[in-house]
């Protein structure tokens, strides 16, 4: 519970409300005061404020009557049209209007899918580690979670199969397998094409959903594009979500779902919001065709440069026994420190020294990751990256020396 004190409303909470986890730590505004590698925030200086302002004026001049009105539940038509084109061009997804829903960021899409499919005590499978937002969403509904280890080319599918077989022997069909296929949050790993295809066959064999969260799709800066699971799936078992948060701007709160039309219809009844961010949708529909492709080129350059700076700095400064991933896109590098170090315990000292990172344990639903951490290179400036990693290395080396002398 959030508080241990008795309150007159205590008896009225829903089952979900009663079982709330402790408050989630972290105040994003504090991050600006230090070298922050903790959050998956887009680069503040490249947010396209001027061109979005122009698009807002155009949207109001040409469509103000509708941009400021309630909107269609599935999403404002101009944005749906623009999205369908983008999906075909960039994601290789040939969807129809009845297959898509505009959502308040990827987070609402995830929340809606959990709402539609997951009851209290239902089982959900996911990569280990995974995006903590998904873990939070599942905790909120009392779901059971089983995490399947990651390999350098994505989820360990042998482990997935044996987990599914064990669950089947107990009469359990997991509601979904949650996958972040490109530049996964938090590891930066991408799932190979061969594994994407095998995963589809496994999901088909065991009768479950693949929930494909492609939040970082547009931010590939090296390597070959890999087709989405959704576009490869002949069985219609995949639900796809992504977001404009990491590209146009997280403050737009615009994301989307692509799913079989029956799923979209169900969600249309569950989602009660008078139309998702109608004004923002009209602005985005104006902004995207003219600005998104060029903006993505700029962002890929920025994040590629920062990733290289971070990987180089890790190589230069971190002590022996430390390993890290080297992503082809997205925001994250995943670092594994020597056994015995505890990144959650070290975080307050890291903050005192002027840096912050995401402790690895937050990214596992069921324990583990104590000696791991996620570093985001999206929010810190070019100039901050090497000094920040040097501080991290000093902290880790000091801790290693201290534990060696115990």
Ligand X SMILES: Cc1ncc(COP(=O)(O)O)c(C=O)c1O
Which residues bind to ligand X, rule: CB under 6 A? 40, 105-107, 131, 133, 180, 185, 213, 215, 243, 245, 250, 255
Burial label for 19, CB within 10 Å (0-12, 13-18, 19+), is middle
The DSSP 8-state label assigned to residue 358 in this structure reads: E
166 contacts 200 by C-beta, under 8 angstroms: no
CA 241/CA 216 separation, integer angstroms: 11
Burial 117-155 (b: 16+ CB within 10 A, else e): bbeeebbbbbbbbbbbbbbbbbbbbebbbbbbebeeebb
Strands 332-336 and 209-213: unpaired
Answer yes or no: are the C-beta atoms of 186 and 131 closer than 8 Å: yes
Least distance (Å) between residue 275 CB and ligand X: 18
The helix/strand/coil state of 374 is strand
Least separation in angstroms between CB 146 and ligand X: 19
Q: How far is CA 52 from CA 70, 157, 284, 338, in A?
A: 21, 43, 8, 45
- Nearer to ligand X among residue 40 and residue 71 (C-beta): 40
Q: How far apart are CA 366 and CA 107, in angstroms?
A: 21
Q: What are phi and psi of 314, to 5 degrees?
A: -60, -45
101 backbone dihedrals φ, ψ, rounded to 5°: -140, 130
Three-state DSSP at 57 gives: helix
> Residue 107 or residue 163: which is nearer to ligand X going by CB?
107
Least distance CB 332 / ligand X (angstroms): 9
Minimum distance between the CB of residue 8 and ligand X, rounded to whole angstroms? 34
Give the residue with the Cβ less far from ligand X, 211 or 279: 211
Spatial separation of the C-alpha atoms in residues 356 and 391, rounded to whole Å = 10
Tell me which H or E stretch contains 144.
strand 144-151
- Pick the closer one to ligand X by CB: 206 or 377: 377
Distance of alpha carbon 296 from alpha carbon 208, whole angstroms: 34
Nearer to ligand X, 285 or 341 (CB): 285
Least distance to ligand X from the beta carbon of 266, Å? 21
Nearer to ligand X, 180 or 239 (CB): 180
Residue with Cβ nearer ligand X (163 or 185):
185
Residue 105 or 341: the one with the smaller Cβ distance to ligand X is 105
Closer to ligand X by CB, 251 or 268: give it.
251
Shortest spacing between CB 97 and ligand X, in angstroms: 21
Residue number of the CB closest to ligand X reads 105
In the complex, least distance from residue 393 CB atom to ligand X, rounded to whole angstroms = 26
As measured in angstroms, the least distance from the Cβ of 159 to ligand X is 21
Q: Six-digit token pair at 34?
A: 């230090």
Report d(CA 3, CA 7) in Å as an integer: 9
Nearest distance, CB of residue 19 and ligand X, angstroms: 23
In sequence order, the 6+-apart residues with CB closer than 8 A to the CB of 20 are: 1, 2, 140
């Amino acid at each position: 519970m959030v508080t241990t004190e008795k309150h007159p409303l205590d008896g009225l909470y829903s089952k979900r409300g009663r079982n709330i986890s402790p408050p989630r730590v972290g105040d994003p505004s504090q991050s600006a005061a230090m070298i922050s590698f903790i959050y998956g925030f887009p680069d503040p200086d490249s947010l396209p404020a001027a061109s979005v302002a122009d698009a807002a004026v155009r949207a109001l001049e040409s469509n103000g009557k509708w941009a400021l009105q309630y909107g269609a539940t599935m999403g404002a038509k101009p944005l749906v049209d623009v999205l369908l084109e983008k999906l075909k061009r960039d994601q290789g997804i040939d969807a129809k209007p009845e297959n898509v829903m505009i959502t308040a960021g990827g987070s609402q899409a995830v929340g809606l899918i959990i709402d539609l499919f997951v009851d209290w005590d239902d089982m959900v499978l996911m990569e280990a580690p995974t995006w903590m937002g998904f873990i939070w969403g599942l905790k909120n509904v009392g779901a059971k979670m089983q995490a399947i280890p990651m390999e350098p080319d994505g989820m360990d599918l042998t482990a997935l199969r044996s987990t599914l077989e064990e669950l089947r022997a107990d009469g359990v069909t997991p509601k979904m397998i949650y996958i972040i296929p490109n530049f996964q949050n938090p590891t930066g790993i991408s799932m190979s094409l061969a594994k994407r295809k095998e995963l589809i066959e496994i999901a088909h064999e065991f009768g479950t959903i693949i929930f494909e969260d492609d939040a970082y799709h547009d931010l590939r800066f090296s390597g070959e594009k890999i087709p989405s699971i959704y576009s490869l799936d002949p069985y219609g078992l995949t639900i796809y979500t992504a977001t404009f948060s990491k590209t146009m701007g997280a403050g737009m709160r615009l994301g989307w779902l692509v799913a079989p039309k029956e799923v979209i219809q169900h969600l249309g009844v569950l989602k009660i919001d008078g139309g998702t961010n109608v004004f923002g949708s009209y602005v985005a529909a104006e902004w995207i065709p003219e600005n998104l492709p060029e903006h993505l080129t700029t962002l890929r350059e920025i994040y590629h440069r920062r990733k290289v700076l971070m990987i180089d700095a890790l190589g230069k400064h971190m002590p022996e026994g430390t390993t890290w991933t080297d992503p082809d896109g997205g925001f994250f590098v995943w670092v594994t420190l020597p056994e015995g170090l505890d990144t959650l315990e070290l975080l307050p000292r890291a903050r005192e020294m002027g840096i912050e990172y995401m402790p690895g344990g937050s990214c596992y639903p069921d324990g583990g990751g104590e000696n791991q951490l996620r570093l985001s290179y999206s929010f810190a400036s070019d100039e901050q990256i090497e000094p920040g990693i040097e501080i991290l290395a000093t902290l880790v080396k000091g801790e290693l020396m201290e534990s060696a002398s115990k």
